[in-house]
Amino acid sequence: MLLSLIERLILMLIAVSVIRSLVRFLQGIAGRFGTHVSSRVNHSPQAANPAAGATMLQQDPVCGTYVAIDASLKRVVNGKVLHFCSDDCRDRYRG
């Protein structure tokens, strides 16, 4: 009886682990194809009217999203400024 319960718990933990891995894998694929949705919203007038002023873009090294330099979250790594689209990407960066 107790052994059966332990087996079920172990199987449940394995299932949860597999599902988490699958979700992370799918998130990685989605990020590579530019379907990442930034949690950061830019409410500047330039965002509403892109012709108001040209903005330099940099690619987020985690998800690949292009983000405006002036609206990006920055992090300096080995003397180089990296630009991130969200707190999540900045925190996930392994440099």
Provide the residue-wise pLDDT of the chain in tens; the chain has 95 residues: 788 889 999 999 999 999 998 888 888 777 666 544 444 555 455 555 555 556 789 999 999 999 999 989 999 989 999 999 999 998 898 86
pTM over 0.75: no
Contact 74, 81 (CB under 8 A): yes
- 75 in any annotated domain: yes
Task: Provide the residue range defining the domain that includes 15.
Answer: 1-35
31 & 61 share domain: no
Locate all alpha helices (DSSP H) within the chain, ordered by sequence: 2-32, 45-48, 87-92
CA distance 19 to 9: 15
Map 22-42 to HEC letters: HHHHHHHHHHHCCCCCCCCCC
30 & 64 share domain: no
Count of structural domains within the chain: 2
Distance, C-alpha 55 to centroid of its chain:
22
- 42 in any annotated domain: no
pLDDT at 84: 93
